[in-house]
Amino acid sequence: MTIHPSLDAAVIGNGNLSALIDRSGAIVWMCWPRVDADPVFCALIDGENPEDGFFSIAFDDDKGETEQSYLRNSAIVRTVVRSGGGAAFSITDFAPRFDFHDRLYNPPTIVRILEPLSGLCRIRIRMRPRMCYGSLRPRPSIGSNHVRYATDGGSIRLTTDAPISYVATEGAFVLSHRITLILHADEPLADSIARVGREFQDKTLESWQGWVRHLNLPFEWQETVIRAAITLQLCSFEQTGAIVAALTTSIPEAPGSQRNWDYRYCWIRDAYFTVLALNRVGASVTMEHFIDYVTNVISMEGGATLRPVYAVLPEKSLEERSAPDFAGYRGQGPVRIGNDAVNQVQHDVYGSVILAASQMFFDERLPKKGDEALFAMLEPLGMRALAVALTVDSGIWEYRDKPSIHTYSAAMCWVACDRLARIAARLGMQDRAQQWRKSADGLREAILSRAWNDRLKAFTGSLDSDHIDASALLLAELGLVKADDPKFVSTVEAVGHALGRNGYLFRYAEPDDFGSPSTAFTICSFWYVEALAAIGRAGEARSLFEKILARRNHVGLLSEDIDPETGELWGNFPQTYSLVGIILCAWRLSKNWEEAR
């Protein structure tokens, strides 16, 4: 079978591991046993026509057309494969996720269920894992109902009621009845293969649909928001509460750009935006788990200084290195493991933590409310934010050679002080509230005076500069300025003029460490939509929102970047930033339920 890597893929997962299923029904990406581990299926990042690193199921002649969709309100994917002669079969893929014995059951397991639908289906199953970051092609060891692949670092087992010799040798056979394939840890199943597959599917479907049932949704774009919310939940590593920025590594931001990064880690900033979006739809448990994660990070660091990014297991090293055995997405390397952003200074991290935690003090729905103990944990972060607010850092875009006093970073330090003032007042700690309010007001005045460029009629991306940056669109949302402030209105217009390309928005236009950017950053386009709506240009905002939504792939997902000329998706996938943008824009632009009746 020929694999053609692309971002036309669906995502399955369970808060522990995840996998990408391409349109043909092949698993082309899966790290095992968790989201940031060794990519056992790696065809997505191994050249134009990878010969292995995938798990495919296709007609013997490799010909056929496919249809792919999610089962309604779930993370279960169904691919229907049809031959030209009228034969057809389906592949149902999912990762088990449901409550069991009063706890979440989400093992490192993938279930694939095959069913003949019509005609004579002569199929071939090809399971070709790679291990040790592509350097090892493990040989299969065959049991009575399983094939096992082992390395010194661990083993993975495929248990199935398909004829095991056909599976192990990639032999063709007729699919005459339902077949179950379970990819799991190297241990025996506790029940029959078919029964485990059926039970896992039924319980997983019920679990996801129950989760969706309790979401708060806008009147318009409901299916779009549901898909974005489910996918954001798949980016949460539920054992620790970490939220990864994306599920892949090294998908280039643009062809030939070398902007290939590993996003399978928890950026505190990105995680805040994810928490914000999931809170908007009422999925606040993710926020509570994230606060637990941050508490562990603060405890580990032993002070008020935080890094911008951590592994899903916070103590794990993120030292950046290349994986030379992978050819790269469509042959465009390098493939990077780890991320040097861990060594950068990014001051916005303090405001991100305090913003994420602030709802704990104000939301009466939560079983565990924020208290003086949580405030005491947050206050040193605010003190650090106040100390560094007007000093240089690498900024939201993680410049590797352009340290500046970035406006967004300074604004988030102001957010830290402002929200601590509000929290202290909520707790009845008036002295602390007054002190934090005084600090916040002084910082706000300094930022607004130094970020405003009278010649450009805009708030700039760094203080005392003429750098136009999309992050300035967030100043009203953060509360630093009002949306109807003439200076903010002028900023929105200046940013749209300077950074807009065919309705999509770039982060910035100036060259950086890797040259001039050539693709639009999807979340910036969504920020522009929100800003247009905030300044009263709702009709224009709706049109742009629909244009961006049209760029989603066939199952409603987005990556990090969009080519403004072709509309092609680039960058790591699925990108939490982009999914957040879908949810927040839909909520801002939708008719309310009363208006729609």
CATH number, residue 366: 1.50.10.10
336 in the same domain as 483:
yes
Please state, in angstroms and as integers, the Cα–Cα distance from residue 568 to each residue in 65, 499, 548, following that order.
22, 18, 11
145 in the same domain as 80:
yes
At how many degrees (to 10) do helices 576-589 and 522-534 cross? 20
Q: Which residues have C-beta within 8 Å of that of residue 108, sequence separation ≥ 6?
A: 16, 17, 32, 33, 34, 184, 185
Q: 93 exposed, middle or buried (CB, 10 Å; 0-12, 13-18, 19+)?
A: buried
Among 248, 266, 480, smallest CA distance to 356 is for 266
Q: Which of 195, 211, 227 is the last residue of a domain?
A: 211
146 in the same domain as 246:
no
Within 13 Å and on the Cβ side, how many CA atoms surround 543? Answer: 6
Per the domain annotation, does 1 fall within a domain? no
Q: Which of 211, 244, 270 is the last residue of a domain?
A: 211
pLDDT value at position 596?
63
516 in the same domain as 543:
yes
Q: How far apart are CA 454 and CA 28, in angstroms?
A: 51
Per the domain annotation, does 2 fall within a domain? no
- Per-residue model confidence as pLDDT tens for the chain (597 residues): 689 999 999 999 999 999 999 999 999 999 999 999 999 999 999 999 999 999 999 999 878 899 999 999 999 999 999 998 999 999 999 999 999 988 899 999 999 999 999 999 999 999 999 999 999 999 999 998 999 998 766 799 999 999 999 999 999 999 999 999 999 998 888 899 999 999 999 999 999 999 999 999 999 999 999 999 999 999 999 999 999 999 999 999 999 999 999 999 999 999 999 999 999 999 999 999 999 999 999 999 987 899 999 999 999 999 999 999 999 999 999 999 999 999 999 999 999 999 999 999 998 888 889 999 999 999 999 999 999 999 999 999 998 777 899 999 999 999 999 999 999 999 999 999 999 999 999 999 999 999 999 999 999 999 999 999 999 999 999 999 999 999 999 999 999 999 999 999 999 988 877 788 999 999 999 999 999 999 999 999 999 999 999 999 999 999 999 999 999 999 999 999 999 999 999 999 999 887 766
What's the number of domains the chain is made of?
A: 2
pLDDT value at position 476?
98
524 in the same domain as 439:
yes
383 in the same domain as 332:
yes
What DSSP line would sit under 96-125, residue for residue? --EEETTEEE--S-EEEEEEEEES--EEEE
pLDDT value at position 535?
98
220 in the same domain as 200:
no
Per the domain annotation, does 120 fall within a domain? yes
251 in the same domain as 194:
no
pLDDT value at position 592?
87
pLDDT value at position 597?
62
248 in the same domain as 163:
no
61 in the same domain as 130:
yes
247 in the same domain as 165:
no
Three-state DSSP string of 376-388: HHHHHHHHHHHHH
Per the domain annotation, does 3 fall within a domain? no
Residue appearing with tokens 């040193």 = 380
pLDDT value at position 590?
96
pLDDT value at position 70?
98
pLDDT value at position 402?
75
90 in the same domain as 26:
yes
Q: Which domain holds residue 454?
A: 214-596
Among 130, 116, 144, smallest CA distance to 31 is for 130
Q: Which of 162, 196, 211 is the last residue of a domain?
A: 211
Q: What predicted TM-score, i.e. pTM, was given to this entire model?
A: 0.96
Q: How far apart are CA 257 and CA 255, in angstroms?
A: 5
